[in-house]
Structure 1
Amino acid sequence: DGFITAIKPGTATLAAVSGAARAERTITVVPNTIASVELVRTVREARQGDVVRFRAVARNAAGRELDGLSPIWSFSPGEGMIDQDGAFVGYAPRTYTITASFGTISADAMITLAPREVRRPVTVVGRLPRTAFTTEEVWIHPNGKVAYLGTGSGGDRMYTIDISDPANPVVTDSILSNTRRVNDLMTTPDGRTLVFTREGASDRKNGIVIASLADPLHPRPIAEFTEGMEAGVHSAFIYRQEPFGTHVFATNDGTGAIHVINIDDPSAPREVGRWRTDRPDAGRTLHDVDVQDGLAYLSYWNDGLVILDVGKGIKGGSPANPQLVAQVKYDLNALYRDVEAVGGPGFIRGTHTAWRHKDYVFIADEVFPASPVEGAKDASAGRAYGRLQVVDISDLAAPRIVAHYEPEFGGVHNVWVAGDTLYMGAYNAGFRAFDISGELRGDLRTQGREMVHLNTADMDGSTKNTAMTWGVVVRDGLAYVNDMYNGLWIVRMEPRRRDLTP
C-alpha cells in the first residue's frame, strides 16, 4: 500500500516497478531525537467548512525545534479531511481532535467548529415562460435594463426582453436567424455590440452573428463571421484589453479549436488567431471559454482545463498568438463510473465550463447517461450528473484540484461568481447558490455552504413540471436564471433570518 516504516537509522533505496517502468528514491532515516511535540494552529474560532492550519513543532530534549520533519496527521471523528501540510477542514459543527504523530511520539489539539449559518430564503421576483423552444443562454445588457435570451431544440431566434421592471419582464423584439440553436450570446463591455452563436444552419453557414445595440431593446444584425466555422460555434466570449482591442473567442464544433476574431470594427470582423490541443480533430472538443486579465480558461472536454496566455504576457501571448500556460486533466471515466453502471458505456462526460475567481478556477463537468430509464416516458425520469471542481491556481505552474461539489440529484452546468457567492444552474437540481468565502478544501456539499435552492420546475414551459436549470447571470442583487424547459426566472436572495429556533 506504499506505507513504509522506519526501523533504525541508515539509508534505504525504495523501488517501484510496473512493467518496463521503474522509479527509485533514496530515503535517509535519522535517529529519533524528538522529546516533545506541540501543535500550533492559526485560529482559535472557526466554522464548519473553514480551513484551519495546524503546525506540528517537534523539539529535542534541550527544547530546540527540529526542522525538516513531517508528521502523520489524523483527526476524529471522521467528518472532514486533513492534508499533509496540516490544513484541516471539518464538515460538521462539532468538536474535533487533531493528532500529529512522529513515530511513537504525538500531540493532540482540539477545535470546536460553529455552524456555518449561511442558508437564506429566496424570492421569485419575475417570470417569463417560454414554450415554443427550449431556452438557452441569458445575458444582461450593461445598462441593467435589457436581457437577451437564446433558444434551442430547433430554436431559430434570440429574444430581447425589457427588464426595467423585474417583476414584469416583457419581450420587445427578436432576431430570427438561419440556425437551430442560439446557444451563447454576450455584449461588448460598452454595450454597443451583441454577438450570438449559431449551430445547425441549413446552409452550414454557422459561426457568429454580430448585432448593433444602438437601441438595446431592438438589436440589428450588421455582420456575420462564418469562415472555417461551418460545423457550428457552441460558445463565444467577448474580451477587450488594451492595446489589443476587442476580440471574440469562439469555439469550433468541428475542429475543437479556439478562434480569435477581432471586432474593433463590428461590421468587418476578422480572424487574428487560432489555437488547439495536440490531438486529432476527431477526438478534440472545446466546449466553453472564459477570459480574465489576459488569460483564457478553456473547457476542453476530454482534455480538461487549459489555460492560455492571450495578453497577460507571462508566456508572451496575445490574441493573435495564444500560448499555453497550464493544463489540468483528470480521469473522467473513473470519476463517473456510477453513470456507466446506470446507463451503460458511451455516456456523455467532459469538462464543460470554467470560471476564474481569485486564486481558484471553478470547473463544471457535464455528464449524462448513455440511455434513458427503461420504461420511463417523461422527462422527470431522466437526470444529469456531474461535479463542480475547484482548481487552486495560486501557482500557475502547478495547478491542483483542492475541492469539489456534487449534488445528490441533478448535475452541474453553468456558473456565475459575484463576491463570495457562486451561483449555479444545476440542471435537474434547479438553481443553487453557495458560500465560497475563505480557503476551499474538500467536499463543499457537506460543509453547510449552500445558501439557497430553487426548484425551477413549472407547468408553463416546453416541458412541464420538470427543472432543467441552465445557468444564471447576476446583476444589481438579482439572479437571472434560465431554465431550458420553461424560460426565464428573476430571483432575489433575501437576507438571512436571524430569528431561528436555537
Structure 2
Amino acid sequence: MKVAASLAATVLFGACKDSTAPGGAAAIAAKDGTAQTAQAATALPLPLRVLVTDAASAPVSGVTVQWVVASGNGTLSAPSSVTDAAGIASVILTLGPTAGTQQVRAVVSGLAGSPVTFSATATAGPPGGGGVATRLILKDGGGQTGPVGTALAQPLRVSVLNALDQPVSGVTVQWAVTAGGGTVSTASSVSDAAGTASVILTLGTTAGLQQVTASSAGLTGSPATFSATATAAAQTDPVLVNTVSVPANYGAHDTFVRDGYAFAFIWNSGLRIYDVGNGSRGGSPANPVLVSSFVTSAAGSTDGPNVHNGWWFHNPVTNEKRYLFVGQEGPARLFLSTTGDIHVVDVSNLSAPQEVAFYHYPSIVGDSVGVHNFWMDEPNQILYAAFYNGGVVALDVSGTLSGDLAGRVIAQLRPGGAGNTFTWGVQLANGSLYAIDMLSGLSQLRLQGNTLSKLSGGSNVPERYSSDLWVHGNYAYTGTWNTRGGNAGNVLKVWQLSVSGAPTLVDSIKTVGISTVSDVEVTPDGRWLLFTAEGGAQGGLYLYSLADPAHPVFATKYIVSTGLHTGTFATINRRRYVFAAKNPASPAMMIFDVTAATP
C-alpha cells in the first residue's frame, strides 16, 4: 500500500561544523523538490534544491552546500554541490530499500536556516514484486543426501530478489556442477513469478561431497553454492512392477520404448502400442495403457505376420515421427534360408496405425531371405537391416514411403561371404557399422556412397554361434547362441574397438545354467549392461557394472524360468526401467524398475 507524505522543508537552527558561508551569504532555505513520493530503492523524480541568499534576499553563487542522508539509507548523487548564479544547489536522492519516511539534510555552517531537512516517503513496490533484481539467495534444496548416480529427491532452488526483498521474475540463472561429477537437468533456468529458479541434480558416481553453483551476473550473493552428499548405493535386485500378458501365439518377441510409449511385437498377434509414461492415456510402467494394436501383412512369411521387432523413426530432417519399421521373422532352415519382410507402418496417428510400404529381399540361388534386427542412422535417414543369410542391407528411408521399397536399396553385403553369413544384428557407432553374424562373428563395416564394405573382423568366434551386439564407446559386447561344437551359447564377449584394425577380444564371461545370451544392451551413460538369457534354469535378466568397460562385473539378476528373449533400458520420469519379453508358456511383457539396481 502506498503511504504518501509531503516533502517538507524544515528550518532547523543550531551549530553545524560542515560548510562555512562565504562573505555575503546569510540564509539557506528549501527551493523545491518537496512533496515527493516514490517506490523504495528508486530515484526521486525531481532533485532536492536549496536557495542561498544574502541579507537583502538576493541569490549568492559559489557557496558549497553539504548533503547528508539523515535516515532511510538512501544514496545521493553527490556529497556536495555549489550554488549557481541563481543561488541554487541541488542533489538527486535515490531512496533506500525500506518503505517509510526518509530524510536528507542540506548544510552550510553559519547560515540562517541551516541545516535544511527534506523529508520524502518511500512506498512499497507493486504486489508480486518485480523491478530490478539485486540479490540471489539460496531458497531450499541444499544439504540433501542420496545414492550415487541418482537424482536428488528435491530440486535445488534459488530466489531472485529486488532491493525490497521482493521476488523478480524473468531473470536467467546459470547452473554449474563444481564438485562430485554430477549432472544438472539444465544449464540455465529463468526465475518464475515467485522469483524462484530451480534445477534437478543427479549425483555423480563417487560417494562424497557434491556441489552446484547458481549464478546471475551482477547480483549480490552470486554465485550461490549448494552442497549435497552422495552415498555408496547398496546393490538391490530389479523390481518387477508389471507383467503384461500377451496371447500365447509364440508370444512377446521384442519391445521398443521411446517418448513414453512401448511398442510390443507379439508375433502373430501383431503390434501393440502402450502408453507407459507419455501421458497421452495416463499410463506408466506400473500401469501400461493400451493405445492401439495392429497386425501387419502376412506377406513375406509362410505362416502369419510373425511380428518380431521394430524401430520408431524420428526424422530430424522433417521433424516427423511418422514411420514404424517392423521386422517379420518367419520360418527358416537354420543357416540356409529364412523368411520375413520389412513392413512400414504409418503411426503419425498412434491410435490408428496403417501399413504403407514394405521391403522384400529377393531369393539367393533359390533360398529365401528373411529379416532380423534393425539399426537406424536417423540424421541420414538410412535403415540398416540384418537379413540373416542375406547379410546387411542399407535402405534409403527419406521422404514419403509407399509401396515396394526395392528401389531404395543403397547397398548390401554378406559379411562372411557366401555360405558363411547368417547376420543377427547391426549397430552404427563411431563412424562404422558393426555387424554380428551367427556364423562369422563380429565385423566392422562402412558405407561409402553406394558401397558397403568390410573393414575388419569376422571369423573371430569359431567355437560358438554369435547372437546380439551392443557398441558403446570403444567397446562392443556380443552374445552367443545355442550350442556349436559342444559349446553352449552362454558367453558374453567383450571386444575393444579401434578406427582401423580388427576388433580385439578382451574378455569372455560365461554364465552357468543358460544356453543362450539372446539380447545385449548398455545404458546411454555407459555405466551398466544388461543381457537376457534363455535355455536353462538360470534364464532371465542379468545386470553388470561397466565401471571397467573392458571387464564387466556381475551386479544382480532376476530369474525367469522360461527365459527372457529380449530386454531394453528406458528412462521414464527420471527412473530407469527394463522392458523384457518373456518366453512361453505364459508369454508377457515384463517391466522391471532397475533404478536402485543400476545407481
TM-score tier (shorter):
0.5 to 0.7
**Is 1:484 matched up with 2:597?**
no
Counterpart amino acid of 2:570? V
Counterpart of 2:373, as a letter, is S
Match of 2:509 among 405, 409, 421: 405
Consecutive aligned runs of 4 or more in structure 1 exceeding 6 Å deviation: none
Q: Does residue 467 in structure 1 map to residue 574 in structure 2?
A: no
Who is 2:64 aligned against?
none
Does residue 244 of structure 2 align to residue 128 of structure 1? yes
Question: In 2, distance between residues paired with 1:307 and 1:416?
Answer: 18
Aligned mate of 1:166, from 285, 297, 302: 285
1:247 aligned partner: 382
Amino acid at match of 1:488: M
Asked if the contact 2:544/2:555 (under 8 Å) is kept, the reply is yes
For residues 339 and 481 of structure 2, the distance between their equivalents in structure 1, rounded to whole angstroms, comes to 27
- 8 Å contact 1:239–1:247 — kept in the other structure? yes
CA distance in 1 between partners of 2:339 and 2:459 (Å) = 33
1:283 and 1:474 map into 2 onto residues whose CA distance is 35
Measured against aligned partners, the alpha-carbon deviations of 1:273-324 in whole angstroms (never above 9, x if no partner) come to 11123532x44211111122431110122111011122xxxxxx24x22222
1:396 counterpart (500, 503, 513): 500
In structure 2, what is the Cα distance between the partners aligned to 1:197 and 1:279?
A: 23
Give 1:387 shift: 0.9
Mapped partners of 2:238, 2:392: distance in 1: 38
Is 1:182 the counterpart of 2:307? The answer is yes
AA partner of residue 507 (structure 2): A
User: 1:432/1:351 Cα in 2 relative to 1: closer, same or farther (>3 Å)?
Assistant: same
C-alpha separation in 2, matches of 1:478 and 1:226? 34
Instruction: Check conservation: 1:160, 1:218, Cα contact below 8 A.
Output: no
**1:217 shift after superposition:** 4.2
Match of 2:371 in 1: 233
Secondary structure of 1:135's counterpart equals coil
Alpha-carbon displacement from aligned partner over 1:170-198 (angstroms, at most 9, x marks no partner): 33322223044222211113432100112
2:422 matched residue in structure 1: 285
Q: Is the aligned partner of 1:363 residue 2:478? A: yes
How big is the shift at 1:160? 1.7
Q: Equivalents in 2 of 1:397, 1:288: separation in Å?
A: 21
d(CA) in 2 for partners of 1:124, 1:456: 11
In structure 2, distance between residues paired with 1:353 and 1:497: 21
- 1:64-118 deviation per Cα after TM superposition (whole angstroms, max 9, x unaligned): xxxxxxxxxxxxxxxxxxxxxxxxxxxxxxxxxxxxxxxxxxxxxxxxxxxx987
Cα displacement (A) at 1:199:
3.1
Q: Is the 8 A contact 1:416 1:422 kept in 2?
A: yes
How has the CA–CA distance of structure 1 residues 330 and 496 changed in structure 2, closer, same or farther, with 3 Å as cutoff?
Answer: closer
CA distance in 1, matches of 2:461, 2:361: 34
Kindly indicate whether the alpha-carbon contact (under 8 Å) linking 2:495 and 2:550 is maintained by their aligned counterparts in 1: no
How far, CA to CA, are the matches of 2:474 and 2:375 in structure 1?
A: 21
Matched residue of 1:322: which SS? Answer: strand
Q: Which amino acid aligns with 1:470?
A: T
Change (3 A) 1:386 1:158: same
Q: Does 1:149 align with 2:264?
A: yes
Give me the TM-score of the superposition, normalised by structure 1.
0.59
CA offsets 1:420-442 (integer angstroms, 9 cap, x no match):
1001112242011110123524x
Residue of structure 2 equivalent to 1:21: none
Q: Residue in 1 aligned with 2:548?
A: 438
8 Å contact 2:238–2:597 — kept in the other structure? no
Cα pair distance change 1:165/1:404, threshold 3 Å: same
Contact 2:528 2:598 in 1 (8 A): no
- Secondary structure of residue in 1 paired with 2:423: coil
Contact 1:277–1:284 (Cα < 8 Å) also in 2: yes
Q: 1:192 aligns with which of 303, 322, 340?
A: 322
Contact 1:120 1:494 in 2 (8 A): no
C-alpha RMSD of matched pairs (Å): 3.0
**In the superposition, relative to structure 1, how do residues 271 and 398 fare at CA in structure 2: closer, same or farther (>3 Å)?**
closer
Counterpart contact for 1:431–1:469, Cα < 8 Å: no
Q: Kindly name which structure, 1 or 2, has the bigger radius of gyration based on alpha carbons.
A: 2
Amino acid at match of 2:532: G
Separation in 1, partners of 2:466, 2:474: 19
Which residue of 2 is the match for residue 326 of structure 1? 456
Task: Name 1:305's counterpart in structure 2.
Answer: 442
Task: Report the alpha carbon displacement of residue 264 of structure 1 after superposing the two structures with TM.
Answer: 0.5
5+ residue gaps, structure 2, are 1-231, 277-282, 316-320, 333-337
2:568 is the alignment partner of 1:455 = no
Shift of 1:219: 2.4
Which amino acid counterpart does residue 437 of structure 1 have in structure 2? A
Q: Tell me the CA shift for residue 158 of structure 1.
A: 1.8
Paired with 1:434 and 1:264, the residues of 2 have a C-alpha distance of 37
Q: Between Structure 1 and Structure 2, how many residues are aligned?
A: 326
User: Structure 1's 156 and 200: CA in aligned 2 closer, same or farther, altered over 3 A?
Assistant: farther
Are 2:469 and 2:479, in contact at CA under 8 Å, matched by a contact in 1?
yes
Which residue is 2:211 aligned to? Answer: none
The letter of the residue matching 1:219 is P
Q: 1:350 to 1:213 in 2, by over 3 A?
A: same
2:469 maps to which residue?
Answer: 354
What residue is the counterpart of 2:96 in the other structure?
Answer: none
CA distance in 2 between counterparts of 1:294 and 1:468 reads 31
Alpha-carbon distance in 1 for matches of 2:313, 2:412: 21
Counterpart of 1:221 (choices 352, 355, 358) is: 355
Deviations 1:119-174 (A, max 9, x none): 32321122201233221111013x22x1111134xx25122222232111233322
| Structure 2 CA distance for partners of 1:271 and 1:402, relative to 1, 3 Å | same
* Structure 1 unaligned spans of 5+: 1-115, 311-316, 334-348, 372-382, 458-465
- Which whole-Å CA distance do the structure 1 matches of 2:596 and 2:308 have between them? 33
Question: AA paired with 2:506?
Answer: V
1:122 & 1:132 partners in 2: Cα distance?
Answer: 25
* Match in the other structure for 2:257: 140
Q: Is the 8 A contact 1:187 1:238 kept in 2?
A: no
Please give the alpha-carbon distance, in whole angstroms, between the structure 2 residues aligned to 1:426 and 1:289. Answer: 20
CA distance in 2, matches of 1:497, 1:308: 32
Counterpart of 2:533? 426
Percent identical across equivalent pairs?
16
CA contact (8 A) 2:541 2:564 kept: no
Of 264, 273, 276, 2:411 maps to 273
* 1: CA distance, partners of 2:570 / 2:307: 21
Q: What residue in structure 1 maps to residue 431 of structure 2?
A: 294
1-structure distance, mates of 2:529, 2:308: 22
Distance 1:266 1:292, change over 3 A: farther
Going from structure 1 to structure 2, the CA distance change for 1:278 and 1:128 (only over 3 Å counts) comes to closer
Contact 2:556 2:597 in 1 (8 A): no
